[in-house]
Structure 1
Amino acid sequence: MAHTDASAAEHMDAIYRYQRYIYDLTRKYYLLGRDRLVGELAPPDGGSVLEVACGTGRNLITAARRYRQAQFYGFDISSAMLDTARGSIERAGLGGRIQIAHGDATAFEANKMFGVATFDRVFISYALSMIPPWRGALQQALAALAPGGQLFIVDFGNQARLPRWFKRALRRWLAQFSVTPRDDLSTELEKIAAMPGYKVKRMALYRGYAVYAVVTRTS
């Protein structure tokens, strides 16, 4: 499924126009590994953190409360989700430490959005499975890393060690929301690990339910 920026935004708004009101309540049961990711971000004092496809702002708020010495940024292609995020951020009293903007994960310019060119930490939580040109989004995220920075990724895995019936049922259900697990994400991560200046740590979580990775830019 190929989208222009405009059609992708309209598609996401159509999916989340009403779901955004119950998104955080329901997704906590199956977007596994998000809190582990936030717990391992550990940005440096005065550091900058970017979330690609920030959705309702849930992860940004959780991270900002944990790491009070850092500044946080996020963007999303869905205006509906950003409306929810803005309200949640203001209610949390974090408007001075979290900036959000409208943007496309496959073609974002952080310097134009936030006045920040690169970040100490970048993270993508269960978004690559919703972005048809997901490899492009991954490369954009890598390009946003400062030297010594880290990219954290958590998303649906290949469910290789789970019962086949579970895998089939999960994927049928996810397809209703235009979610497609990227079974070749591990292969793409291996390619990144082979690139000069990058180191990759990758693991399967919950018997392959999810994949978790940390990419470090070493130079």
Structure 2
Amino acid sequence: MTTYDSIPYPSYSHPQTSPAHLSAIARVFGLSPVDPKSAKVLEIGCASGGNIIPLAARYPEAQFWGLDLSKAQISVAKQKAEKLALTNIKFVAASIVDHNFKRQKFDYIIAHGVYAWVPGNVQQRLLEVCGENLSKNGLAYISYNTLPGWNALKTIRDMMLYHSQNFSDPAQKVLEARNMLKFVSDNMKIQTGPYKETLDAEIKRLQNLSDSYLLHEYLEAVNEPCYFHEFAAKASDHGLTYLGDADLQSMFLGNHNEKVSSTLMQIEDNVRQEQYMDFISNRRFRMSLLVQNGLGINRVISEERLTGLRFTPNFKLEKPVDISQLGRVEEINLVNMQAADRKGKVRGRIFCAAVIEMLRAYPLRLSLDEIIEATMITLKDMDKETIRKEVTANIMRSIFNGMCSIIYDDVQPVLTPSEKPLAFGPALYESQLMEIVPNHYSEMVKLSDDQRLVLQYVNGENTIEQIGTALKRHIEKGEFTLAANGEPIDSSAANYDDYIQKYVEDMIGVFANSSLLVA
């Protein structure tokens, strides 16, 4: 029995591991990965299937395998797959060291949160499997803690390990580790300096995180961060080449100041260049993509490489734009959709119009041609070639500066629900157990209790009217309250049914805008 059996790590979806995302990155660098729709995918350390099950549901013609050491979590994963009637996924409870993959070939191998948390022989075996079992054009995704960023965090881990070493029960270890954090925080209040600032920031972050995260990230027997160049060298020993990072923004020299960029540009060795960037940024975590040696990687990006890709805006407008001004805007301020403290700015009439069109279409992901066509409608006074040239150049930069994400996937979520709307299967299932569910794109969507209640009836069997009738039953039982202007609506009110109808329609709209509805 492992600590993952006694205190399971929450098993969520990770969009950065999705074959649609990995395939897009490989195509940008000139490779020809297998289409996710028909791929063979292996996830090592799949836990209870929170990441791989949504992928299997999303790509019914592809084949998926999940491997994890925890028998308890594999049992849960099998139950989920059975409930969702997924026939294209298999789960195995075994150690990667013991399991024989034979001559199976996988187009995508995913190992998220495994490499740094296992002993050296398991790390070697993981890279060996990638080297031996990747298909010719296959991609391996491996995430791990890195140095130098983890040097300061190692001090905090050592503190917690030292204090909790005499407790065998995982829950008690976590409690004592939290007591240690509080003790250190309380007794450093009068101190000043960089050491205090570093500890304060990390302790504050850890205090708000779950027990399972604290246990598995900081209190496991093994947590060995490494320098990137060390990881790349070990991968090379197994016939693997570093392609890039799942976080493309981290690779872009233009995100550093001009002096740093010009100096690093002189380094031709990509691994050395990346290592120097890690030194500069004090990086603590990497999501590296590996491919078989000998593939023709080309990091000089061209417009042709963008064919088939779809673009996701990561920023939204800080302030609404007057619709009468569309096509005239020369500058817009943006704010990150996930982190309000991250700001951005777009300048130039053409690309401002393009960004606004991408946001108007969201949550649909547009192709480059669709962005150009939409921009042309807004800028009727400009010729197509001028618009294409400007939009393409800016989109290429946006991929690497973090303004846009990319996927290779042409199936869109549903924005206009059918008569009997249907939610994405894994989201429907998980909403009965937790507040965070995966959407069509493997993104995590946080639902309120009310939204979770409504979503269970969005199962393709109920009309909006029938969903409203179901909600009435919950209201009658005191399990749900419908309010208007902050006041509960009485069931005897003349417009009671209209409120119910409008509420359900609004909820369906929220689900659609969160990419939770499917055809």
Task: Please give the TM-score of this superposition, normalised by the length of structure 2.
Answer: 0.33
Q: Distance in 1 between matches of 2:74 and 2:83?
A: 14
Q: Which residue of 2 aligns with 1:6?
A: none
SS of the counterpart of 1:106? coil
Output aligned runs, 1:30-179, within 5 Å. 34-38=14-18, 39-42=20-23, 43-44=34-35, 45-94=37-86, 96-111=87-102, 117-133=104-120, 134-158=123-147, 160=149, 164-165=198-199, 174-179=217-222
- 2:199 matched to 1:208? no
When structure 1 is superposed on structure 2, of 73-82 and 37-46 the one drifting more is: 37-46
Q: Secondary structure at the match of 1:56?
A: coil
179 and 194 in structure 1: CA distance in 2 versus 1, 3 angstrom threshold? closer
Give, in angstroms, the shift of residue 121 of structure 1.
Answer: 1.0
Per the alignment, do residues 143 and 107 of structure 1 end up closer, same or farther by CA in structure 2, a change over 3 Å counting? farther
Asked if the contact 2:145/2:224 (under 8 Å) is kept, the reply is yes
Higher-Rg member (1/2): 2
* Alignment check: 8 A CA contact 1:192 1:200 kept: no
How many residue pairs get aligned? The number is 194
State the AA in 2 paired with 1:117.
Q
Q: 1:61-119 deviations in whole A, cap 9, x for unaligned?
A: 1222333331101111111111111112222322x0110112212343124xxxx6111
Are residue 188 (structure 1) and residue 180 (structure 2) matched? Answer: no
Q: Looking at secondary structure, tell me which structure has more strand per residue.
A: 1
Q: 8 Å contact 2:61–2:88 — kept in the other structure?
A: no
Q: 1:23-79 CA deviation, whole Å, 9 max, x = no partner?
A: 32xx65xxxx93212242445243210011211111111222333331101111111
Larger mean CA deviation between 57-66 and 156-165 belongs to 156-165
**Structure 2 CA distance for aligned equivalents of residues 143 and 164 of structure 1:** 42
Give the CA deviation at 1:193.
4.7
Measure, in 1, the Cα distance between the counterparts of 2:70 and 2:232. 27
Q: 1:123 to 1:208 in 2, by over 3 A?
A: same
Structure 1 unaligned blocks of 5 or more: 1-9
Query: For residues 245 and 220 of structure 2, what CA distance do their matches in structure 1 show?
Result: 26
Distance in 1, Cα, partners of 2:14 & 2:146: 14
Q: Letter of the aligned partner of 1:109 in structure 2?
A: N
Q: Report which structure shows greater RCO (CA 8 Å, sep ≥6).
A: 1
TM-score by length of 1: 0.71
User: What is the percent sequence identity of the aligned residues?
Assistant: 18
Distance 2:64 2:136 in 1: 18
1:40 aligned counterpart, secondary structure: helix
| Contact 1:61 1:92 (C-alpha < 8 Å) held by counterparts | no
Is the contact between residue 53 and residue 77 of structure 1 (CA under 8 Å) also seen in structure 2?
yes
Contact 2:38 2:63 in 1 (8 A): yes
Question: Does structure 2 retain, via aligned residues, the 8 Å contact 1:125–1:153?
Answer: yes
SS in 2 for 1:110: coil
Q: Within 1, Cα distance between the matches of 2:53 and 2:148? A: 29
- Counterpart check, 1:16 vs 2:21: no
Offset of 1:181 from its aligned partner?
4.3
Q: CA RMSD in A?
A: 3.4
Distance 1:141 1:214 in 2: 11
Q: How far did residue 17 of structure 1 move?
A: 2.4
- C-alpha contact (below 8 Å) 1:193/1:200 kept by paired residues: no
Gap change, CA 1:138 and 1:196, over 3 Å in 2: closer
Q: Does the 8 A contact of 2:45 with 2:68 survive in 1? A: yes
Query: How far does residue 167 in structure 1 lie from its aligned partner after superposition?
Result: 5.9
CA distance in structure 2 between the partners assigned to 1:107 and 1:177 by the alignment: 21
| Aligned mates of 2:90, 2:64 — CA distance in 1 | 6
